[in-house]
């Protein structure tokens, strides 16, 4: 039977379907001549005693589950998935699922962020919408303290009603409140503190595209780090650009893009209009072209760096 030790002196195994009954004592008939070593697996051929089967930081896939079961392990220690609280901010926001009041927009960022959190292994916890009142904002931010991270959208630009920086300074500490990227320049980061507990807080822009891109470039690596992953940035490729576009302002540009494979090369074009509030153009995008601060113009045929959102790329 499979897995049974072989008899002493035996050097091959014949499947039952190739064997015949009869013959003398200790003998069988065979329809196919077995070769030496046929159907014999040596002890230790897959895993030796003392071998490290899985290293710390390994992502557990079906393959790893199978290997663990093959050595009889019913349980292993794993890194807990981080709980990420998501809070939308702004008096202009309305919750989805209800008629849209005049002068309001639906709170789309919170749900896009929750989906991004889930995509990279976190557990999202939606905290709803905070108004542009400092007390309400601070209270809702502090309600995230049972989570491992807080993400807010909106209120980071520094206007009169953009209170994320002030609220974070009041209930923790601010590390920075601007980054040299477009879209996503208004990004606040710091530590939220309450009752001796400290969690990281990312204050992302309110415009939908800037919010999603800032998540990919800043929050995604943090979540993967919490999960013990080493591949924090995802696939980054070089592609031949098929679009002409400018990069004014001396900021690092992150442009929504569509990448396709053509033979041994990748080609990339911009994914429609690049406005930071034009969310539907993200539907087509499978990557983000990254243009350095000192490059003011990208021409057709230039080679550019692309941070892939979806991988692998189809031809």
pLDDT one-digit tens code per residue, 138-161: 999 999 999 999 999 999 988 878
pTM, two decimals, is 0.85
pLDDT for 114: 99
Tally of CA atoms within 13 A in the half-sphere of 160 that contains its CB: 0
Q: Tell me what the mean pLDDT of segment 1-30 comes to.
A: 77
Give all strands of the β-sheet with 149-153 in edge-to-edge order.
123-130, 83-89, 149-153, 197-204, 188-194, 172-176
Torsion of CA 135, 137, 138, 143, to 10 degrees: 120
pLDDT for 1: 61
Q: Tell me what the mean pLDDT of segment 29-39 comes to.
A: 83
Of the candidates 70, 204, 75, 230, the residue with the CA atom closest to the CA atom of residue 149: 204
Instruction: Decide if pLDDT at 10 tops 90.
Output: no
Tally of CA atoms within 13 A in the half-sphere of 107 that contains its CB: 26
pLDDT-based confidence at residue 19 (cuts at 50, 70, 90): confident
| 3-class SS of residue 284 | coil
d(C-alpha 234, C-alpha 211), whole Å: 18
Cβ atoms 113, 124 nearer than 8 A: yes
Q: Which tokens sit at 245?
A: 């576009």
Instruction: Specify the range with the lowest mean pLDDT, choosing from 14-23, 80-89, 255-264, 283-292.
Output: 14-23
d(C-alpha 127, C-alpha 85), whole Å: 7
For the chain, percent of residues with pLDDT exceeding 90? 73
Q: Tell me what the mean pLDDT of segment 236-254 comes to.
A: 94
Instruction: Decide if pLDDT at 314 tops 80.
Output: no
**Arithmetic mean of pLDDT over the chain:** 92
Please provide the DSSP assignment of 127-180 as one string: EEEE-S-HHHHHHHHHTTTTSSEEEEES--S-STT--HHHHHHHHEEEEES--S
Instruction: Decide if pLDDT at 23 tops 70.
Output: no
Q: Tell me what the mean pLDDT of segment 1-15 comes to.
A: 78
CATH class of 236-308: mainly beta
15: phi > 0 → left, psi -120 to 50 → alpha, else beta; which?
A: beta
Instruction: Look up the CATH number of domain 83-226.
Output: 3.40.980.10
Q: Where are the domains of the chain?
A: 1-46, 83-226, 236-308
DSSP code of residue 99: P
pLDDT for 8: 82
Q: Is 62 exposed, middle or buried (0-12, 13-18, 19+ CB in 10 A)?
A: exposed
d(C-alpha 124, C-alpha 147), whole Å: 9
pLDDT for 20: 82
For the chain, percent of residues with pLDDT exceeding 70? 96
Contacts of 170 (CB under 8 A, 6+ apart): 134, 138
pLDDT for 28: 77
Name the range with the highest mean pLDDT among 18-32, 81-95, 267-281.
81-95
pLDDT for 158: 80
d(C-alpha 87, C-alpha 89), whole Å: 6
250: phi > 0 → left, psi -120 to 50 → alpha, else beta; which?
A: left
């Amino acid at each position: 039977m499979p897995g049974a030790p072989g008899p002493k002196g035996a050097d091959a195994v014949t499947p039952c379907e190739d064997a015949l009954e009869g013959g003398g004592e200790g003998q069988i008939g065979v329809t196919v001549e077995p070769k030496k070593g046929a159907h014999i697996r040596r002890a230790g051929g897959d895993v030796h005693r003392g071998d490290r089967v899985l290293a710390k930081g390994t992502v557990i896939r079906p393959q790893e589950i199978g290997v663990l079961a093959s050595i009889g392990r019913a349980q292993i220690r794993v890194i807990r998935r981080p709980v990420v609280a998501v809070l939308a901010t702004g008096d202009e926001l309305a919750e989805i699922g209800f008629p849209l009041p005049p002068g309001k927009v639906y709170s789309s960022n919170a749900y896009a962020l929750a989906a991004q959190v889930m995509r990279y292994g976190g557990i999202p916890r939606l905290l709803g919408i905070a108004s542009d009142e400092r007390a309400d904002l601070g209270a809702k931010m502090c309600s995230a303290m049972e989570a491992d991270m807080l993400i807010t959208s909106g209120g980071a630009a520094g206007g009169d009603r953009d209170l994320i920086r002030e609220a974070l300074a009041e209930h923790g500490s601010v590390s920075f409140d601007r980054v040299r990227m477009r879209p996503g320049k208004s990004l606040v980061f710091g530590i939220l503190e309450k009752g001796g507990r400290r969690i990281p807080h990312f204050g992302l822009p309110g415009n939908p595209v800037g919010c999603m891109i800032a998540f990919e470039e800043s929050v995604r690596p943090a979540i993967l780090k919490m999960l013990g992953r080493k591949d924090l940035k995802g696939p980054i490729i070089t592609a031949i650009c098929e679009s002409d576009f400018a990069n004014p302002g001396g900021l690092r540009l992150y442009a929504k893009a569509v990448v396709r494979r053509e033979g041994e090369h990748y080609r990339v074009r911009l994914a429609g209009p690049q406005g930071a509030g034009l969310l539907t153009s993200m539907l087509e995008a499978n990557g983000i072209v990254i243009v350095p601060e000192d490059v003011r113009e990208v021409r057709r045929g230039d080679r550019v760096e692309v941070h892939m959102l979806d991988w692998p790329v189809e031809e």
